Amino acid sequence: MTLNELVEEFLLYLSSVRGLSDNTVVSYRNDLEQLQNYLTSEIDIKNIKKENLLLCIGQLSKQNRAAASINRFIAAVRTLFAYARKFNHLSENPAADLKTVKLPKKMPNYMTESEVQQLCFQPVKSELLWKNRDVCLFLMMYSSGCRISEITNLKVDDFINNYHSAFVTGKGNKQRKVYFEENSRKAIEVYLQDRSKIIADNGILNPTKQFFINQKGQPISVNGIRYIITRYSGAEGTKHHVNPHAFRHTFATSMLANGADVRMVQEMLGHSSISTTQRYTHITTEKLIEIYNKAHPHGEK
């Protein structure tokens, strides 16, 4: 079996048997394409040794790839060859002992309360795209802590309790309940009126069930939401560019800073491991130290 054949079979297994999301499968494909480019797609997998994989990792390091990117590549390679061993394509796993590289400590990027409020109401101020939709989008992302893919895939029928909450599908097809505060709920109702009008004006007989649409009445993509955020946080807007995940980081940081239990925040974010959620506690601790140093008479000294 060639490396190319193994990769294609493995990706099909991830999507059809494991039920992983399209985004996750694409991520695996992108990482494994690097392996195919380095070793060539037609190499027999029985000829692949640990040394070949280590050289490939070294090549990525020489290209100054981020440690997180290299570790994602290593994880993809390990999972690929574990699959090959499990289904008897190989008698030994050449990737079994591959070690990840050390990650530099990096705190999640988040916004202050004033920054997030400024961005949430920037669509009203600048009217760059679709005011009511974009206010609704920003408030919902901040209020719920949803991933961008979860917001993109949210459907009209997913809402419950008069738009105060909804069910979203996260990583690993795990469903969880998220919540929207009163400002978000009101923005949802205003946007839904606009949404109905857009669909009617475009003469769409079988409208999409996807909640967020563009001005042609079509489902909006992940890249479409990225574009919206970039427009409002760029030179035409707040001039403080943020990525979509900053809303999620800000949600988690705000919840913990205001006394929410870390396990409750873990459940709201859909983290499988509490250690992922606990990194936000470091941010709130650092913020408290900063406030202390500014407020205490001897703090600055």
Segment-wise mean pLDDT, segments of 10 residues, the chain, 301 residues: 93 90 89 90 90 89 85 92 93 89 64 85 89 94 90 93 90 86 94 95 92 94 93 87 86 79 81 71 57 57 47
- Please check whether residue 218 is in contact with residue 208, taking contact to mean a CB–CB distance below 8 angstroms: yes
298 is known as an active-site residue: no
Which of the residues 28, 110, 232, 280 is marked catalytic? 280
Number of other CB atoms surrounding residue 171 within 10 Å: 15
209 is known as an active-site residue: no
- What does the pLDDT read at residue 216? 93
271 is known as an active-site residue: yes
Burial of 226 (0-12, 13-18, 19+ CB in 10 A): middle
- What does the pLDDT read at residue 279? 65
Which of the residues 89, 186, 231, 245 is marked catalytic? 245
- What does the pLDDT read at residue 301? 47
Q: 36: part of which helix (H) or strand (E)?
A: helix 22-39
- What does the pLDDT read at residue 94? 92
- What does the pLDDT read at residue 111? 80
248 is known as an active-site residue: yes
Which of the residues 131, 147, 185, 195 is marked catalytic? 147
Which of the residues 89, 155, 171, 176 is marked catalytic? 171
- Residue 285 to residue 257: CA distance in whole angstroms: 8
176 is known as an active-site residue: no
29 is known as an active-site residue: no
Which of the residues 185, 195, 248, 249 is marked catalytic? 248
- Residue 292 to residue 301: CA distance in whole angstroms: 12
